[in-house]
Amino acid sequence: MSQPISIRQQSSVAKTSCLHCSLSNLCLPLALDDSDLSQLDEVVSRDRVFSRGELIFSQSTPFRSCFAVKSGAVKTSIITESGDEQITGFFMPGELVGLDSMSDEAHASTAKALERTNVCEIPVDRLEELVHVLPGLQHHLFHLMSQEIRNSHQLSVLLSKNTAEERIAALLLSLSSRFKRRKLSSTHFNLPMARNDIANFLGLAVETVSRVFTRFQNQGLIRARGRDIELLELEALQVMALGNSQP
Amino acid sequence: MSQPISIRQQSSVAKTSCLHCSLSNLCLPLALDDSDLSQLDEVVSRDRVFSRGELIFSQSTPFRSCFAVKSGAVKTSIITESGDEQITGFFMPGELVGLDSMSDEAHASTAKALERTNVCEIPVDRLEELVHVLPGLQHHLFHLMSQEIRNSHQLSVLLSKNTAEERIAALLLSLSSRFKRRKLSSTHFNLPMARNDIANFLGLAVETVSRVFTRFQNQGLIRARGRDIELLELEALQVMALGNSQP
DNA sequence: CGTAGGTTTGAGTCGGGTCAAGAAATGTGG
DNA sequence: CCACATTTCTTGACCCGACTCAAACCTACG
């Protein structure tokens, strides 16, 4: 499902050029014109497929490439010195993974496919060269990286200020808007990640996540059967996600 | 105190060129050679001074410049939709503030001087131009931004996995290592921020911060009189900062 | 020298963690 | 396709760390 549109639809995997990839407006929005895109096209290795649970790259290994998610979903996590995992992000089609290691020797995090996932590999040395000649691309990369910083700051806010219910409402809404951006249903979708991953990402215990899901369901806010989620009351969830700091 | 070394030490504020700034190896390490530095030098407006509590820039205002801290200290924070503040970082001399808004229309956060602070202003439009011709600078900027992402991820870990004691130990050690980097004492320094800011940053209540400080003092780990802090047992603090996940 | 902001200390409460155990989904091999 | 194994998810009971509320104490600065 949600296969990028391609000119020559060959085999099960679409060999799309950047120029014709339906995700290009997410992965590399506006900034680039057609001639720029075709230059980028040449440095990208397409059609790298990972099945559920496979590592795309892992922490402390040499950093060579960024990856654009084409289909499926990816989680990134870091292993702390004390040995436990902290998920730092979920990446959906059209999003760029690996920016936290840009211009660094080694990967700062580990990326794992949450389901069968198709990515485009973008070698950084080639990318950095290309950036020299394409001002638009440079600007765009700065933009993506700063967005990544802001995302992480948002996560910090969530973790330090919000209750379990607020965190989960916020995550559901974030996923919702990302599905919407891809022209998919914003109210009915499949969670790519397990409850465990949600808990880890949001700094909660799995049990708490489970409890909140059933509570939301009892309140009529969502309908959840396993990973199949339907958002019934978007407004109510939005209100909840904001939190009740000073009413 | 901790004034950058300058050739011509004029007035109270040192008008140092990037070339001779004692912080250049932090703000723009290694990557640049002397001729690169002098090019950078020309786009930087030096000697912007802010006194305690003054805003350097504020959220949602047009983004024009990044700022390098020369002396003093800065905190950045975001105001959430629900109206409360979340401090996203503290910036010490040699560190770059504002990267979370790179190539964005408006500032994503607010930066406020914690004490009398001296910064260099770096206009981004000039910076982006300069980056075209200086590959080393581009690489370095990518590096700084990715570091910023990693810092924020580290904060997320702290907030979601660690106890109050662990968070505070980690903050003290972070400050310690940053003082050390500047060739200042790593065990005896003045906190640039109030307990309140520490609490906000670490997702704790002020009272908790205060209690932990006194607890640390009673355990002989630190000696604290107001903002004057002495780290007595670095190793013990390091062990504590790691947390007791799976012993 | 007085007032406001910052800091400390105490008492009480609760959200969410832990532990334990069952239910559902998913996978595996015969 | 079914029986069994394993992982994932849910539910319940209990407990603790950190928050809240409240009040006293400092300290800096006009």
pLDDT in tens, B147-158: 999 999 999 999
Q: Does residue B45 surpass a pLDDT of 50?
A: yes
pLDDT computed for residue A37 by the predictor = 84
Contact B91, B76 (CB under 8 A): yes
Q: Report helix, strand or coil for A94.
A: coil
Calculate ∠ Cα A234-A236-A238, nearest 5°: 70
Within chain A, all domains assigned CATH 2.60.120.10 are found at: 18-152
Q: Check A108 against B153: CB less than 8 A apart.
A: yes
Question: Which 176-195 residues of chain A approach strand D with CB closer than 7 Å?
Answer: 194-195
Residues of B within 8 A of A155 (CB-CB) are 152, 156
Covered bases, chain C (protein CB within 7 Å) = 6-11, 15-20, 24-26
A141 touching B (Cβ < 8 Å): yes
pLDDT computed for residue B29 by the predictor = 65
Pull the structure tokens for residue A46.
């397409």
B226: CB within 7 A of chain D nucleic strand: yes
B95 touching A (Cβ < 8 Å): no
pLDDT computed for residue A241 by the predictor = 95
pLDDT computed for residue B10 by the predictor = 38
What is the pLDDT averaged over residues B24-49? 82
B35 to chain A nearest CA, in Å? 19
B22-61 residues touching A, CB cutoff 8 A: none
Low-confidence ranges of chain A (pLDDT < 70): 1-15, 29-31, 245-247
Q: Any idea which architecture B18-135 has in CATH? A: Sandwich (2.60)
CATH number listed for the domain at residues B162-242: 1.10.10.10
Within chain B, all domains assigned CATH 1.10.10.10 are found at: 162-242
Least confident of A24-33, B7-16, B236-245: B7-16
Assigned fold of A18-152: Jelly Rolls (2.60.120)
Q: Check B139 against A160: CB less than 8 A apart.
A: no
d(CA B247, CA B126): 52
pLDDT computed for residue B91 by the predictor = 97
Pull the structure tokens for residue B136.
């080393």
Selected residue of B82, B134, B151, B208 to mutate for chain A interface (largest A Cβ count, 10 A): B82
Q: What is the pTM of this model?
A: 0.91
Within chain B, all domains assigned CATH 2.60.120.10 are found at: 18-135
Query: Of the candidates A235, A237, A93, which has an alpha carbon nearest to the alpha carbon of residue A172?
Result: A237
